[in-house]
Structure 1
């Protein structure tokens, strides 16, 4: 039986497991185990045990639950309640006015939560009622929230960057730093679009409130500023070479606990809830990573990555065409899989091809996360679309239509990243030169 036939059978088996409702991590592990047991003479049970052990004790993996816990603590520290009051005075004079709170608020929450769905849900719970009561265009409010919610994957500290770093064996510190400029670029594209939409005849925004003094703006932001300073301290400690991602995550947890205690939200129940939520999320992601590791080993024993790389090489694709092909594949995968699964499932196959084409692995990680962001806005499994559909009561088509311009802006962001790779590589290279 040739490699192509085996690959097809393996893909059908995996899709059948996923369609049957089996956990993603377990489905990936079973598909990898079946590949080794059925199509190779290798000892499948021994390989399974060795693979699970080798991929479960890595030091880099310890940063994952700590960053997740930091986000869960701050999530319960009334951050969403303070976000609108803290950001509105600084943004309501821009064209589009308080629609920018969705974008900047998601940027701040992205650095806290590291998750697209959590970012969209948290900011949406706070901003949508406020914007509706003030008469803002609902479709634009939904669109800005759906698009900006994807920043949870890109702005460090990002859970998806940790997942890619572990899967691709790349420096998580460099990935965090590489995501800063692209994250700001995406925020700038979204804000620029809202300003242009407003200036070119979009539904008129309600009038701005009275002008506030600098002292009054700072007073209204007093509960938000410490969170921003904590995020800057975490990222700055990594960029300055003072701390590893795991050490920075530990700093973030202690800082989040201190802020929650100072704000009066660090109750025994909230502490227990944040810890249990962090354990659940971390175990889910770790299970996906381990299952994908087993599947990757199984595919390696069958020679699937080498066969696919050979096929691509035989097509004599230019680097630009290779990126276009990968982008289309990831967009299709995003219709059926969530972000972590896409990354761990495809990295072992795609990374050798892009490295051979001359692309930097860290740059490819940022590109991949941007494409996964696009997948958050593609039905039928666009997680941000599901979140906003549940929050607004609108049908999936209405939410998808509102999100479409921001999907296009993410496509533009990928094009800019491909044309100007220094957006992702300049800061990490500067960090290494220090």
Structure 2
């Protein structure tokens, strides 16, 4: 059978299994089992055990549950309320005023969470009610929150970057550093859009609030001290070379516990809830990685990725055309799969293509995360849209319309990243070489 035909049959089988409601990890392992049995007389059980052990026996992967636990602890604190109060006096003078709190607040919380959904839920829990009470447009309040919440995937410590690093054997620290400037670029694009929208729609903006005296604004800044301490402790220790990503994750958990204790939200029920939630999330991700590892190994034995790479290479696509094709592919797939599943599912197939095209794998990791961010706000499986639906009760497709401008801005960011690769590569090259 031709490799392309076999590959199409496997893809059809995957979607058929997923349509039956089977867990993604089980679906991936089943696909690997079928691919192996149908093509080679090899013992699938032994290969399954070896592939899963090698994938999960990774030191870098130990950072994952720690960062997840850190985010779960912070989710149960008053951190988002403190950020809203601390940022409001300083952003109220910009065109768009408190709409910027969503953007800047999500960017700051992303630096201590690593999760898009957690960022969106934590900031939205406070900001949506406050913005509605003060008369801001629902469309812009929801749109800025949904778009800015995706920055949690890019700004370190990003959970999906850890997953990508594990799946492709890249440096977690280098990927973390590479994600900083692209994440801040997204923040700047979103804030720029809010400013332009506010200037063109003055009639839809509420009346300006009284100007707060400088001394009072400086006093409000103290409420940002815990999150600044956490960012410096976690991200600063990695950038300064004092700690690896795993060690920084342990520092982050310790600081999150200290902040929770200082805020009076650390007690046995909340700590137990954070532990259980972090354990469930970590096990889910590890299970998906294990299933994907077996699929990747099976594909390697069958030779399908290599043959597929040669087949696509025969078309003579330029780097730009290949990236465009992959972008469309990831956006479409992102309509049906969550970001982590999408990354681990596709690495075994596309990495040979990317490597053959001479694309830097650190840069591609940032690019793929940016494209996955787009999928977070596209129906029907945009995770941020589900979070917003639970917060607002709005229809998920209407929420998708609210986020359309921010989807367009992410497309612009992807174009800028492709045209100027140093947006992602300059900082790690400067700091680590």
For the aligned pair, the TM-score class normalised by the smaller chain equals over 0.9
Output aligned runs, 1:291-310, within 5 Å.
291-310=291-310
Q: Is the 8 A contact 2:125 2:391 kept in 1?
A: yes
Q: Find the counterpart in structure 2 of residue 240 from structure 1.
A: 240
Q: Find the counterpart in structure 2 of residue 366 from structure 1.
A: 366
Q: Find the counterpart in structure 1 of residue 87 from structure 2.
A: 87
User: 3-state SS of the aligned residue for 1:151?
Assistant: helix
Q: Find the counterpart in structure 1 of residue 160 from structure 2.
A: 160
How far off its partner does 1:372 sit? 0.1
Q: Find the counterpart in structure 2 of residue 355 from structure 1.
A: 355
Distance 1:333 1:193 in 2: 27
Distance 2:17 2:201 in 1: 50
Moved more, 308-317 or 9-18: 9-18
Output aligned runs, 1:413-428, within 5 Å.
413-428=413-428
Q: Is the 8 A contact 1:137 1:203 kept in 2?
A: no
How far off its partner does 1:38 sit? 2.6
Output aligned runs, 1:208-247, within 5 Å.
208-247=208-247
Q: Find the counterpart in structure 2 of residue 73 from structure 1.
A: 73
Distance 1:345 1:139 in 2: 34
For residues 333-385 of structure 1, give each alpha carbon's deviation from its aligned partner in whole angstroms, at most 9, with x where no partner exists.
01111000111111122222223222211000000000000011111111112
Distance 2:2 2:12 in 1: 16
Distance 1:188 1:355 in 2: 31
- Alpha carbons of 1:218 and 1:393: their partners in 2 closer, same or farther (altered >3 Å)? same
Q: Find the counterpart in structure 2 of residue 387 from structure 1.
A: 387
Q: Number of aligned pairs?
A: 433
User: 3-state SS of the aligned residue for 2:311?
Assistant: helix
How far off its partner does 1:202 sit? 5.1
Output aligned runs, 1:266-345, within 5 Å.
266-345=266-345
Q: Give TM-score, length-normalised by structure 2.
A: 0.97
Q: Find the counterpart in structure 2 of residue 60 from structure 1.
A: 60
- Structure 2: gaps of 5 or more residues: none
Q: Is the 8 A contact 2:80 2:122 kept in 1?
A: yes
Output aligned runs, 1:106-255, within 5 Å.
106-201=106-201, 203-255=203-255
Q: Find the counterpart in structure 1 of residue 265 from structure 2.
A: 265
Aligned-pair RMSD on alpha carbons?
1.3
User: 3-state SS of the aligned residue for 2:223?
Assistant: coil
Q: Is the 8 A contact 1:28 1:292 kept in 2?
A: yes
How far off its partner does 1:22 sit? 1.4
User: 3-state SS of the aligned residue for 2:13?
Assistant: helix
How far off its partner does 1:208 sit? 2.8
Distance 2:267 2:327 in 1: 45
For residues 169-203 of structure 1, give each alpha carbon's deviation from its aligned partner in whole angstroms, at most 9, with x where no partner exists.
00000000000000000000000000011112354
Following superposition, which runs of at least 4 residues in structure 1 exceed 4 angstroms of deviation?
none
Distance 2:213 2:422 in 1: 39
